[in-house]
Amino acid sequence: MSGRPLVLFDIYGTLVDVHTDEHQPALWQHLAQWLRYRGVVCSAESLHKRYFAAMQANLPAHEAYPEWQTEAVWAELLAELGLDPAEAVSITQLLRVLSIKHLRLFPDTKEALRILRQHYRLGIVSDAQRVIALAELAELEILDYFDPIVISSDYAYRKPDPRLFAHALAQVETPANQPWYIGDNLFRDVQGAQLAGLRAAWVKRPQATTEASQHTPDLIVPDLMTFALHLIANF
């Protein structure tokens, strides 16, 4: 597969339809109860404030588009509360589960991937938390479609920083054709990919993000199937 043309994907809003709310009071009441089971008394309101303050403190100031690692934030908080930092991954995933309103593939995701992987190598470059994203891709039964997988939480920066895309390109043979990237955000996805030398497609769903960008997509599509058929027709 290494010599095949490369297509890279964003995850959320592109492959996966997700809606979360990390600020709902009930979520923090559940997490505070989780702490009480471990002998730590902390109100839901206090825990909510401490978590988001710690998250901001963990953003690297020297980066233009800084990223944090959620389990590192929780490890610090758990240590401060006298608990085992090794439970950071578990509480990170628990927070995610409690925050989800819905998590599902877009209707054409699997079929578009099936069509594309007949001719293309597929990979991911996405702003996400690795301990969450990989588990969700596996749950949705599409994880095995992708190699390489580059997730922003492994680094100190996120899209549109072109270094994220460069990490993916460094893991594959240089293809004869210019790689494609597809995402739902004009600024982070289209601009970032084009700065890294990729062709960029914008999947313009009703909820697609139109942050200001001076970059114009190489292709605009309403869904992944339209993108897949375009690439196959021009293979």
Residue 2 has pLDDT above 60, yes or no: no
Long-range CB contact pairs, 38-42, < 8 A, 24+: 38/83, 40/81, 40/82, 40/83, 42/81
What pLDDT, on a 0 to 100 scale, did the predictor assign at position 168? 96
Domain layout of the chain by residue ranges:
6-19+104-233, 20-101
Topology of domain 6-19+104-233, CATH: Rossmann fold (3.40.50)
Q: Quote the CA–CA distance of 164 and 157 in Å, as a whole number.
A: 8
What pLDDT, on a 0 to 100 scale, did the predictor assign at position 210? 75
The answer to whether the beta carbons of residues 171 and 148 sit under 8 Å apart is yes
Which of 28-42, 61-75, 208-222 is predicted with the least confidence, judged by mean pLDDT? 208-222
**pLDDT tens digits for 91-134?**
999 999 999 999 999 999 999 999 999 999 999 999 999 999 99
The answer to whether the beta carbons of residues 10 and 185 sit under 8 Å apart is yes
Query: pTM of the prediction?
Result: 0.94
Query: Which string of DSSP letters, residue by residue, matches 99-164?
Result: HEEEEEE-TTHHHHHHHHTTTSEEEEEESS-HHHHHHHHHHTT-GGG-SSEEEGGGSSB-TT-HHH
Task: Tell me the pLDDT of the chain averaged across its residues.
Answer: 95
